Amino acid sequence: MTEASRGSMALKVEKRWTISNVLSLSRIILAVPIVLLILKPGNEYRLAVVILMIISAATDFLDGLLARALNQVTDFGRLLDPVADKVCIIAISAALVVVGDLPIWYAALVALRDILIVAGSLLIINRRKVVVQSVWAGKWTVAFIAAYLLVATLRMESLAVLKTVFLYVSTAGLFVSLGVYIRIYQKRMAENRAA
């Protein structure tokens, strides 16, 4: 291996761990204390859970913003960001189902949609060697899912109507965003066949 190629490889590895990618990874790490606190009996830790969830949501907003502002957009980041979202949301949803704050059908629907999106992305990476970027329909759906999980975590009767609204809006978003991703994957696969 030449000195130039070694330098090129080192640069690629370094570019993986940008500030925005570290923020994405922190979202996965934050899921651990969030889940553990949700599973504790009673409401004593619910405020701490909500604070951690808000911090997690803030990292989701900041990672993309910083990646663009610092010119650190990478394929690794495009892949890590949605994976971090999915791991965090599925883990929190499962914990809320266990303690009875979320319907199991909803958590199953969220997990199924995320698994299908990840499977499609991996297929496109394998066939086309490109990372499919997150779409706005997906970003909005994640925002409404997060809002629903947050309200469900609070366990406040006064928020019952808002909880129902977020449930229906996020459920609709799950289907719409999955449809958008399927169309993108079909287009990419058609490009593959044409090539």
pLDDT in tens, 23-50: 889 999 999 999 999 999 888 899 999 9
pLDDT at 11 over 70: no
- Residue 195 pLDDT level (bands cut at 50, 70, 90): low
State the DSSP code for 124. Answer: H
Are 78 and 131 in contact, with CB atoms under 8 Å apart?
A: yes
pLDDT tens, position by position, 127-138: 877 777 778 898
Predicted confidence at residue 9, as pLDDT, reads 39
Predicted confidence at residue 123, as pLDDT, reads 86
Predicted confidence at residue 15, as pLDDT, reads 66
Q: What angle do CA 108, 109, 113 make, to 5 degrees?
A: 115
Distance CA 86, CA 17 (A): 20
Predicted confidence at residue 63, as pLDDT, reads 83
Are 96 and 103 in contact, with CB atoms under 8 Å apart?
A: no
Are 18 and 77 in contact, with CB atoms under 8 Å apart?
A: yes
22 closest CA partner among 83, 75, 63: 63
Q: Report which of residues 131 and 57 the model is more confident about.
A: 57
CATH number of the domain bearing residue 77: 1.20.120.1760
Distance CA 56, CA 189 (A): 34
pLDDT at 89 over 50: yes
Are 151 and 162 in contact, with CB atoms under 8 Å apart?
A: yes
Predicted confidence at residue 7, as pLDDT, reads 37
Number of domains in the chain: 1
150 closest CA partner among 177, 174, 170, 134: 170
Half-sphere exposure of 155 (CA within 13 A, CB side): 14
What range does the domain containing 50 cover?
A: 3-194
Tell me the mean pLDDT in the region 140-147.
Answer: 93
Distance of CA 78 to the CA centre of its chain: 11
Tell me the mean pLDDT in the region 136-164.
Answer: 93
Tokens 């619910």, located at residue? 46
Predicted confidence at residue 97, as pLDDT, reads 97
pLDDT at 142 over 50: yes
